[in-house]
């Protein structure tokens, strides 16, 4: 066995490989780019080598630098993870030339599967069923069009060099064919520098079922059962599970044996995945073979109890496969969801930003989190926006799903827009629960999935509003404690409880909608000290009270006791209730200027922002309601007005300065 390996990757997969290597007593070397100087995988490895600038082509894709790092540190083998150099035949060849073991298949196997059309030709010979189509070398558009017309529409055009759904186009009729071919070719040329196309029958309701295979250098090959990866957006996986719901023993054996035939047809070694489409009538067709460890390998590990990275290392070191086919079995059910920095409501566009707050469910026999980031890390434009994989396991699918719902609720992240809420809605969908799905599931239910039933929102608005009010009281109280003039009425946190009921209005942007909220402090707090309010939101009214201790709010809403925790950054709030996560922020901050009544006016920043300008000079005498200062927050300007007739003694901040939410802006002296 190796004593030291280099991991030519980053993020969760680099961490994943390091974990197993460490358990096996193998030392690890990480490589990192500028952007990853402080990344988790760098800290986890025994050694780490800086290999260049942030852009992947200058670091993780630079073969010379990766090989030099291995030589410099004396690593005997390189694990490529997935993506980057994992299916790069040149890299594989170069490792061999440098006497470094490539932890993966031999170069010819990578080359054979590198082109979707060449792969299909090999599979056809090996008797592996293919989707009907044309995958020939002659790229005359006439020939491709004729193949499509003969087959009948719909058809799917695919770039033979493709991946990640690029260069792929559905064509629904002969009229659309030419323009679709042009578009697919353009995309393929841009993406892969190769616009060779294949065309195949477009199956309208298939499931994506893939088989995990493993081969050693001694001629042994096994399949480690299937994964169902039908839940996709933009033809890319989001949820994967094992075993596939509804799979029969017969079909499993047929697909497993076909996958092993596919691997043997190219003298495969190591971990590989053979992807099939399973049609509604039970026929299955080879799609492609991925010659590496897949993102979704953990679900196979959870149901087999095996460590696939350990198997990879053993096979690469020349060992015989640890188990034979008849020694492998399935135990329970596992589901993986991919947590991405992306915006489901905006075509799943990747998002960037800093993870300001991260709280995850605890790892256990039932819950596994594979990640490469921690709180404070940045999701940058340079790499894949996957934040983590959340994997759950239980005795059967129904129980596993319940685990998943619970774990997603406990997966709390703030600072970057993610698909967490979307995943939660997805796994709650009754058709998903019944496993009534195909690869079109997300598209078909998009409307419902993107606009979850928010009937629970009513209560959540009251909770969010109560939090904001109590938070504001705390800020004022804190200021009073630290201010030299604690007796000043402007430091009075209890202005809410003057005889005349104080009212605060603001607009709450919550779960994508906007609600006008007014909070009235009741003059006599009766059933729930120290704070007691009436909150009106839309046409609903709630009597509420509560206590805020650090991040946790204990609330009583119309007699219903509830608990919620909160995370906050730059004016964005996340509320986590027992039910779900709710995002909110104040649209128009409460500056007390509603109804022309400025009696409760606060001279503090309503949220983080920038001072735009002072509207009067320091020392000016002003009258109640006069505009004193403009600040900008969340791309909107907010005017801070005089709370009463009086004098502006000092502006604490100058134009252009950043201020934090709650910061006192002006020293104001009320006229006698």
User: Which one of the spans 18-26, 54-62, 89-97, 163-171 is the region binding ligand ADP (CB under 6 A)?
Assistant: 163-171
SS (H, E, C) 189-250: HHHHCCCCEEEEECCCCCEEEEEEEEECCCCCEEEEEEEEEEEEECCEEEEEEECCCCCCHH
Task: Work out the angle at residue 270's Cα, subtended by the Cα atoms of residues 266 and 276, and round it to the nearest 5 degrees.
Answer: 60
Helix (H) or strand (E) holding 621: strand 621-622
Number of H helices, E strands in the chain: 17, 38
From 203-211, 291-299, 405-413, 617-625, span contacting ligand ADP (CB under 6 A): 203-211
Query: Would you give the DSSP letter of residue 595?
Result: G
For the CB of residue 187, give the shortest distance to ligand ADP in the complex, in Å.
Answer: 11
Residue 208 in the binding site for ligand ADP (CB under 6 A): yes
How far is residue 545 CA from its own chain's centroid? 35
**Residue partners of 69: CB distance under 8 A and separation at least 6:** 6, 29, 31, 49, 51, 75
Contact pick of 45, 66, 156, 557 for ligand ADP (by CB under 6 A): 156
Select 228 or 568, whichever has its Cβ closest to ligand ADP: 228
Please choose, from the candidates 588, 583, 547, 544, the residue with its C-alpha nearest in 3D space to the C-alpha of residue 567: 583
* Rg of the Cα atoms in the chain: 30
Out of 89, 131, 302, 548, which residue is the one contacting ligand ADP (CB under 6 A)?
131
Contact between 164 and ligand ADP by CB under 6 A: the answer reads: yes
Cis peptide upstream of residue 397 (ω within 30 degrees of 0): no
Query: Which of residues 65 and 201 has its CB atom nearest to ligand ADP in the complex?
Result: 201
Distance of CA 86 to the CA centre of its chain: 22
Tell me how far, at minimum, the Cβ of 202 lies from ligand ADP, in Å. 4
Residue from the set 102, 202, 286, 566 that interacts with ligand ADP by CB under 6 A: 202
CA atoms in the 13 A half-sphere facing the CB of 669: 10
Q: Give which of 153, 1, 159 is closest to 76, Cα–Cα.
A: 1
Q: Segment contacting ligand ADP (CB under 6 A): 43-51, 56-64, 72-80, 158-166?
A: 158-166
Cβ contacts of 150 within 8 Å, gap of 6 or more: none
Q: Least separation, in Å, of the C-beta of 419 and ligand ADP?
A: 18
Q: Tell me whether residue 163 or residue 245 sits nearer to ligand ADP (CB atom).
A: 163
Q: Which of 113, 128, 198, 203 binds ligand ADP (CB under 6 A)?
A: 203
Q: How far apart (Å, rounded) are the C-alpha atoms in residues 284 and 256?
A: 11
In the complex with ligand ADP, which residue's Cβ is closer, 275 or 384? 275
DSSP H helices, 343-456, are: 397-409, 420-428, 430-433, 441-444, 446-450
Catalytic choice (10, 292, 412, 479): 292
Q: Does 489 bind ligand ADP (CB under 6 A)?
A: no
**Options 59, 115, 232, 418; binder of ligand ADP; rule CB under 6 A:** 232
Minimal distance in Å, beta carbon 24 to ligand ADP? 32
Minimum Å gap between C-beta 148 and ligand ADP is 12
Query: Rule CB under 6 A: which of 256-315 touch ligand ADP?
Result: 275, 277, 287-288
Q: Which residue number, 201 or 368, has a Cβ lying nearer to ligand ADP?
A: 201
186 included as an active-site residue: no
57 CB neighbour count, 10 Å cutoff: 9
Whose Cβ is closer to ligand ADP: residue 16's or residue 201's? 201
**Of 103-111, 161-169, 298-306, 536-544, which segment contacts ligand ADP by CB under 6 A?**
161-169
Which of 37, 71, 146, 235 is the binder for ligand ADP (CB under 6 A)?
235
318 burial level (CB within 10 Å; 0-12, 13-18, 19+): exposed
Return the active site residues: 292
Binding-site ranges for ligand ADP (CB under 6 A):
131, 156, 162-165, 168, 200-203, 206, 208, 232, 235, 275, 277, 287-288, 439
């Amino acid at each position: 066995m190796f004593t030291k390996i280099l991991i030519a990757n980053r993020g969760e997969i680099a961490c994943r490989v390091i974990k197993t290597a460490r358990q096996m007593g193998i030392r690890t070397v990480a490589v990192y780019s500028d952007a990853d100087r402080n990344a988790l995988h760098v800290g986890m490895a025994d050694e780490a080598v800086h290999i260049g600038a942030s852009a992947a082509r200058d670091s993780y894709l630079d073969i010379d630098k990766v090989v030099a790092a291995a030589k410099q540190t004396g690593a005997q083998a390189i694990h490529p993870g997935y993506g980057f150099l994992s299916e790069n035949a040149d890299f594989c060849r170069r490792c061999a030339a440098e006497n470094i073991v490539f932890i993966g298949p031999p170069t010819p196997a990578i080359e054979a599967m590198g082109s979707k059309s060449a792969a299909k030709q090999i599979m056809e010979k090996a008797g592996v069923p293919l989707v009907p189509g044309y995958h020939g070398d002659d790229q005359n558009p006439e020939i491709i069009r004729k193949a499509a017309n003969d087959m009948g529409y719909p058809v799917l055009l695919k770039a033979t060099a493709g991946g990640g759904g690029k260069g792929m186009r559905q064509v629904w009729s002969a009229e659309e064919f030419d323009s679709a071919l042009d578009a697919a070719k353009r995309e393929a040329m841009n993406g892969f520098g190769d616009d060779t196309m294949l065309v195949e029958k477009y199956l309208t309701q298939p499931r994506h079922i893939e088989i995990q295979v493993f081969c050693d250098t001694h001629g042994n090959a096994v399949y480690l059962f299937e994964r169902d990866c039908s839940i996709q957006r933009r033809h890319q996986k989001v949820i994967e599970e094992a075993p596939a719901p509804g799979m029969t023993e017969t079909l499993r054996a047929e697909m497993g044996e076909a996958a092993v035939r596919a691997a043997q047809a190219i003298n495969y070694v190591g971990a590989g995945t053979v992807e099939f489409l399973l049609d509604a009538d039970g026929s299955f067709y080879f799609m492609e073979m991925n010659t590496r460890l897949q993102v979704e390998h953990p679900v196979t590990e959870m149901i087999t109890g095996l460590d696939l990275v350990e198997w990879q290392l053993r096979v690469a070191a020349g060992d015989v496969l640890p188990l034979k086919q008849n020694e492998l079995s399935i135990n329970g059910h596992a589901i993986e969801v991919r947590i991405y920095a992306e915006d489901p409501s905006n075509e799943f566009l990747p998002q960037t930003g800093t993870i300001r707050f991260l709280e995850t469910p605890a790892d256990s026999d039932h819950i596994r989190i594979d990640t490469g980031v921690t709180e404070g890390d940045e999701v940058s434009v340079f790499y894949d926006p996957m934040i983590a994989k959340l994997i759950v396991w239980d005795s059967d699918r129904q129980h596993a799903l319940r685990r998943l719902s619970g774990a997603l609720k406990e997966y709390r992240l703030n600072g970057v827009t993610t698909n967490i809420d979307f995943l939660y809605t997805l796994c709650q969908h009754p058709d998903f629960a019944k496993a009534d799905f195909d690869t079109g599931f997300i598209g078909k239910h998009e409307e419902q999935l993107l606009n979850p039933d928010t009937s629970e929102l009513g209560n959540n608005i009251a909770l969010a509003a109560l939090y904001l009010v109590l938070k504001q009281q705390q800020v004022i109280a804190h200021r009073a404690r630290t201010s030299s003039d604690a007796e000043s009425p402007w430091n009075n946190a209890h202005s809410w409880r003057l005889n005349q009921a104080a009212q605060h209005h603001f607009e709450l942007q919550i779960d994508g909608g906007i609600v006008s909220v007014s909070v009235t402090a009741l003059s006599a707090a009766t059933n729930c000290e120290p704070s007691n309010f009436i909150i009106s939101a839309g046409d609903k009214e709630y009597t509420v009270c509560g206590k805020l201790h650090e991040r946790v709010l204990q609330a009583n809403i119309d007699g219903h006791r509830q608990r919620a925790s909160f995370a906050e950054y730059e004016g964005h709030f996340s509320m986590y209730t027992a039910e779900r996560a709710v995002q909110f922020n104040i649209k128009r901050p409460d500056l007390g200027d509603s109804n022309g009544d400025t009696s409760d006016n606060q001279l503090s920043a309503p949220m983080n922002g920038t001072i735009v300008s002072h509207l009067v000079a320091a020392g000016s005498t002003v009258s109640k309601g006069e505009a004193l200062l403009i600040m900008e927050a969340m791309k909107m300007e907010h005017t801070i007005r005089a709370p009463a007739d009086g004098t502006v003694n000092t502006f604490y901040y100058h134009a252009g300065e950043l201020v934090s939410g709650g910061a006192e802006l002006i020293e104001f002296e009320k006229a006698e």
